[in-house]
Amino acid sequence: MSNPLSSIIINRDDHCVSRKNISSAALKVLYRLHDKGFKAYLAGGAVRDLILNIQPNDFDIVTNATPLEIKKIFKNCRIVGRRFTLAHIFFKGEIIETSTFRAPITKKNSNKKNTQIMTANDGLVVRDNLFGTPEEDALRRDFTVNALFYDPINFTIIDYANGLNDVKLKKIKTIGSPQRRFIEDPVRMIRAVRFASTLSFNIDKKDFHTIKKNAYLIQNVSSSRMYDEMQKLFFSGSSNEMYKILEESNLLKYIFVDFYKWVNEDSKRLNWINSSLNQLDKWINAGLKVDAPLLFALIFGEYHETMIEKKIDNNKNTFDLTRRVINDHLNSICSQIRIPKTIIYQVCDIMTYQIRFKKMNPKQSSRIAQSTGFINAFLYLKFSSKILLRNENVLYYWQEIRNDNSLKTTSKKIGSQKRITKRFKK
Ligand code: ATP
Ligand code: MG
């Protein structure tokens, strides 16, 4: 390292990370490992977020204890992962991910005979389990701001990659050559976009240029990993900003190939996608839970509706057609983003409810409004009516039915409360 050690260790007086903002479960793991003679640091996103005064999503720990040694210390521990073997330590309502310092991937140690590290012919790392030093571990993380460690024993931050400076500059920058790091793991390109949008940071210029040039590599990522990443992106609470960066960085056209082409054929089509992502961000930031079926129904709503309309034929069953069109589209994405079948089924439901809604049949309304798929379908109706200025009467009708139903439920609850009180009086 060219940096002198003094600039790598940041003392308590020179940073704002405090133990009181760290989960008690994470502190327990850190102290226990230390008591048993191991090094143990809080690592990655948690340190970055604590410096930024943001509540971390999770508290990851890194140590020189191997997964087997960790398992011996903690009864509530399970070893997971093949690509990365690490320990999950279970607490009430929280899992503390604890990994062992990892060594860098070099040509020497990534040959075919080495079962701990394996690299495919195109440079993609497929197995990665050679243990190393704290510095080696830090330098093989994705971005400088994600490579910070916090040592709970002497309250220092350890910064091997100049990450603290990049936090101050609000910059997402890969550690080492962006070209090599993005080839090693193309998911890092999406992670860069996610961190830039959620933290309101900028992606370093060279990194951004490299992403634009290598965006096509995203098609090499496994479809289940892509599904997880897509959920993290869209449920981040800043999906609208994220969508813009995905587009500017060329990633979007390799993620949603047909949809991207369709949106770009007519600039008016951006209105739907922008409005749906805005709505999604509002819900998430208000603490409301949005599930994956509603997410996909919203994003692709206008696209699906247009495709259905094109194929509509009066003699055919529109329920079947709706399901078929949506099924075909979402299944065609699955080779790249593996959307679970149950989610696809529920996206179809949301859209077939729209057909039922238009019938406004008083005999069936109450039953429809109590069915499990109703809320998502109703939210879609509400959103699409507002954006496309249509179905005002249909929305009004179902809003009334919904109000009636919730009144009935409330009075039922009050009724049973009264009965309970009476019983107690007796
Ligand atoms: P958040 O949890 O807020 O989404 P995070 O930075 O903690 O963000 P995680 O996915 O929880 O992200 O990963 C924890 C840490 O592991 C990261 O901060 C980073 O240091 C490292 N890491 C995760 N994914 C990669 C990757 N693909 N390549 C290199 N390092 C990674
Ligand atoms: Mg994290």
Out of 49, 137, 142, 166, which one is annotated catalytic? Answer: 142
User: Which of 101, 146, 159, when mutated, tests ligand 1's pocket best, judged by the most ligand atoms within 8 Å of its CB?
Assistant: 146
Rounded distance, CA 317 to CA 60, Å? 52
Residue among 141, 143, 201 whose CB has most ligand 1 atoms within 8 A, to mutate? 141
List of residues 6+ apart from 54 with CB closer than 8 A: 199
Active site residue 313: no
Task: Say whether pTM exceeds 0.95.
Answer: no
Residue 45: CB within 6 Å of ligand 1?
yes
Given the structure tokens 């805005």, which residue do they identify?
278
Most trustworthy range by pLDDT among 3-7, 109-113, 206-210: 206-210
Supply the DSSP string of 291-345, one letter for each residue.
-HHHHHHHHTHHHHHHHHHHH--TTS-HHHHHHHHHHHHHHHHTTTS---HHHHH
- Name the percent of the chain lying above pLDDT 90: 77
Give residue 407's pLDDT: 64
* CB distance 178 to ligand 1 below 6 Å: no
Nearest-angstrom CA–CA distance, 202 and 222: 27
Ligand nearest to the CA of 59: 2
Q: Does residue 236's CB lie within 6 angstroms of at least one atom of ligand 1?
A: no
Tokens of 25: 């479960």
Ligand 1 centroid – CA 45 distance (Å): 6
User: What's the 275 CA to ligand 2 centre distance in angstroms?
Assistant: 29
Least reliable range by pLDDT among 120-134, 146-160, 184-198: 120-134
171-172 and 202-203 beta bridge pairing: parallel
Task: Output the CA torsion 226→228→230→232 (10° steps).
Answer: -140
Q: List, for residues 278-317, the tens digit of each pLDDT value.
A: 999 999 999 998 999 999 999 999 999 999 998 887 657 7
Q: How far is CA 252 from the centre of its chain?
A: 16
Give the model confidence (pLDDT) of 101-122 as tens digits.
Answer: 998 876 666 555 555 555 555 5
The overall average pLDDT reported for the chain is: 89
Confidence of residue 75 (pLDDT cuts 50, 70, 90): very high
Q: Say if ligand 1 is within 6 A of residue 141 CB.
A: yes
Of 48, 255, 221, give the one whose Cα is nearest residue 149: 48
Q: Which residue has the tokens 């996608």?
A: 273
Query: Does the active-site annotation cover 60?
Result: yes
Residue 423 — pLDDT band, cuts 50, 70, 90?
Answer: very low
185 is catalytic: no
pLDDT value for 120: 57
What is the CA 121 to chain-centroid distance, rounded?
Answer: 29
pLDDT at position 122, please?
58
Residue 79 is predicted with a pLDDT of 95
For β-strands 125-128 and 94-100, DSSP reports them as unpaired
Encoding tokens for residue 351? 């859209």
Contacts of 72 by beta carbon, 8 Å cutoff, 6+ apart: none
- Return d(Cα 388, Cα 173) in angstroms, integer: 40
The predicted-structure confidence for 76-108, as pLDDT tens digits, reads as follows 999 998 777 899 999 998 999 999 999 887 666
